[in-house]
Amino acid sequence: MKKDVICPHCGKPYSCYRNPTPTTDVVIYEPGRGVVIITRANPPLGYALPGGFIDEGEQAEAAAVREMHEETGLDVELTGLLGVYSRPDRDPRQHTLSVVFTGRPRDPEALCAGDDAAGAAFYPPDDLPEPLAFDHARILADFREVLAGRRTLGAVELPARKGDC
C-alpha cells in the first residue's frame, strides 16, 4: 500500500510502501517422533513452529533451510509446500506473509535450541504444547489434514546454488 508522508528532517514529501513482511515456517516432521516445536525466547512468547524472516535477495526455500538450522540445529530437507498464510493479524508485531513448508530432518538427533529459541523438542501432532504463537495452531491443523490424506502438498523448488542463474 502506497503512503505519502513528510520527511521529518527536511520537510519534503515522499512515498513509501507498507507491504507485508515475508517470512517462512517449516513443519519439521519425523514419523514416530512428531513435529518440532520451539519455545520462543522473544515476544510474543509461547510455543511455535521454527521460522523467521526472509532476507532481501533470498529465496523462500533457502530462508526456510537457513532458519531451521539457526533455530533447531537441524539440516532439513524440504518435502512440500503446505501453504501461504497472510492474515493481517497473524503476527501481533506486524503484518507478515508466511510461506510454510514441510520438511524432514536429515539427523533428528541433532535437534537443539538455537538463535531465537529457548527450547526445541518433538511433539506428537495430536498432543501439542500450548499456547501456540501466531497462527501456528491453524497451520498444524492443516498439516494434520495432510497426514490424514485429506489435503495435499505443493511442489517445492530446490534452493538455488551459488552460480545458478
**83 has which bridge partners?**
100
Does residue 162 or residue 43 have the better pLDDT?
Answer: 43
Cell 523467521 belongs to residue: 52
Neighbours of 44 (CB within 10 A): 12
Q: What angle do CA 115, 23, 16 make, to 5 degrees?
A: 120
- CATH architecture assigned to 20-148: Alpha-Beta Complex (3.90)
Instruction: Phi first, then psi: give them for residue 23, nearest 5 degrees.
Output: -135, 175
Neighbours of 90 (CB within 10 A): 20
Are 103 and 79 within 8 A, CB to CB? yes
Residue 163 reports pLDDT greater than 70: no
Whole-structure pTM value: 0.89
Residue 165 reports pLDDT greater than 70: no
Are 47 and 121 within 8 A, CB to CB? no
Question: Cα 148 to chain center, whole Å?
Answer: 22
Are 101 and 81 within 8 A, CB to CB? yes
Residue 159 reports pLDDT greater than 80: no
pLDDT digits (tens, 9 = 90+) for 15-71: 888 899 999 999 999 999 999 999 999 999 999 999 999 999 999 999 999 999 999
pLDDT digits (tens, 9 = 90+) for 75-108: 999 999 999 999 999 999 999 999 999 999 999 9
Residue type, 91: D
Where are the domains positioned within the chain?
20-148
Residue 1 reports pLDDT greater than 80: no
- Report the alpha-carbon distance of residue 69 to residue 109 in Å, rounded: 13
Residue 4 reports pLDDT greater than 90: no
Amino acid 115: pLDDT: 80
Amino acid 14: pLDDT: 86
- Report the alpha-carbon distance of residue 13 to residue 98 in Å, rounded: 32
- Report the alpha-carbon distance of residue 143 to residue 66 in Å, rounded: 21
Instruction: Phi first, then psi: give them for residue 135, nearest 5 degrees.
Output: -105, 30
Please write down the long-range contacts of 146-150, taking CB distance under 8 Å and 24 or more positions apart.
146/80, 146/82, 146/102
